[in-house]
Amino acid sequence: MQLIKDIENIWKRNEPEFNKKLSSWVNALTSGEGISKLAKKEFRQWEPLKTYLSVSKAKSRVKAIYSMRFYGQEVAQLVVKGKEVVLKLINGQEKKNKEWFNVALKDGEYEWLGKEAKEFRRSFKKLASTAKGFPKVKSREHRVETKFIAEMLKGTGKFGVAGMQIKPVMIAGKFPLQIPVPVSANTGLPMLGNGYIDILARRKANDNKVRLSVWELKRPGEYKHAASQAIIYAYTILKILRKAKSGGEWYKMFGFKSEIPHSLIIEAVVAITSDQENKFLKEKENVLLGKTTFVVGKDRIELYDAYYEEKENSIQLKGNPFLIKP
């Protein structure tokens, strides 16, 4: 398939640079994971605020900087240095929070357990209750992403589907992470440049084997070459595991304790609303030539379409997408 050929060509032309970049990223995240285990003891998740870790915020070996988000929109940072936890607002977050959420706290640093930080958390908790799970945010896609992650973290009955066993890849088992890759898929074509996977998850299939599951999410009523994006990111993950010098380190960071197996199945999942089904079918036919399984040596990429409905504090799927064989 042309998308895969294009990724192969980009990789061949940039392999030395990719190796350096991927090694740097995984080292930063591994260091961040160590501090995150300490940070995990110092503060807990304060609903509805969520803490995320990114490559750019995980580079320091002496402190961890987390992005604090409200339904996907960054409202502050949490800085952990030793046992000190600080709420930090920078770069005009005061103005943005006032504009979007009517939450007033000046840019600056505040003790996480201090009066100002407590009032900050209380304001967002009240807002979430008033908005009933649908607050006005800059990106509806990020709001949906937040709910998808929360859904995957539930026990049984995820997405309103019985028996689905899936968890997002997390740092220290607590902090969501946007997995970076050196190939961008924003235009629906593989391009040289950093891309970010919406959600990378681990799913236990019917054969009891755990598979990596790449989820490409679109906000309600939007499509934008989602199938191509999902395939590009899934195949780039496969290239990282198979060709990057740090592939084994990435595999362990994804939550696996074994060596990379001789054959892998990576799932590419398109999460869209039902009104976008025809666009998915059209792209599958015109771009992917009607295929939903892509074999590369002993490895496979499998494409699935998951139709969701956004609820107040949950995401429901229209059936189990993995029951239909690609």
Number of neighbouring beta carbons within 10 Å of residue 23: 15
Number of neighbouring beta carbons within 10 Å of residue 306: 21
Q: Which residues of the chain have pLDDT under 50?
A: none
Helix, strand, coil fractions of the chain, as percent rounded to 5: 40, 30, 35
Question: Following DSSP, what letter does each residue of 66-110 receive, concatenated?
Answer: EEEEETTEEEEEEEEETTEEEEEE-TTHHHHHHHHH-----SEEE
227/268 Cα distance (integer angstroms): 8
* Domain chopping of the chain, boundaries: 2-29+140-323, 31-131
Beta strands in 273-313 (DSSP E): 293-296, 299-310
Q: CB of 198 within 8 A of CB of 217? A: yes
pLDDT the model gives residue 266 = 97
pLDDT the model gives residue 171 = 80
- Report the residue count for the chain: 326
295/291 Cα distance (integer angstroms): 11
pLDDT the model gives residue 51 = 85
DSSP state of 53: B
Coil, strand or helix: which one is 51? strand
Q: CB of 200 within 8 A of CB of 17? A: no
pLDDT in tens, 207-236: 899 999 999 999 999 999 999 999 999 999
pLDDT the model gives residue 113 = 86
pLDDT the model gives residue 274 = 97
- Residue 141 tokens, joined: 């896609």
Number of neighbouring beta carbons within 10 Å of residue 88: 17
pLDDT the model gives residue 92 = 94
β-sheet bridge partners, residue 217: 271
pLDDT the model gives residue 142 = 93
Coil, strand or helix: which one is 239? helix
Smallest Cα–Cα separation from 171: which of 55, 287, 292? 55
129/50 Cα distance (integer angstroms): 16
Question: Following DSSP, what letter does each residue of 155-223 receive, concatenated?
Answer: SSSGGG-TT--EEE-EETTTEEB--EEEEE-TTSS-EEEEEE-SEEEEEE-TTS-EEEEEEEE--TT--
pLDDT the model gives residue 42 = 56
Smallest Cα–Cα separation from 294: which of 306, 279, 308, 284? 284
Torsion of CA 157, 158, 160, 165, to 10 degrees: -80
In angstroms, the Cα distances linking 26 to 173, 259, 266 are 16, 17, 20
Smallest Cα–Cα separation from 6: which of 287, 299, 293? 287
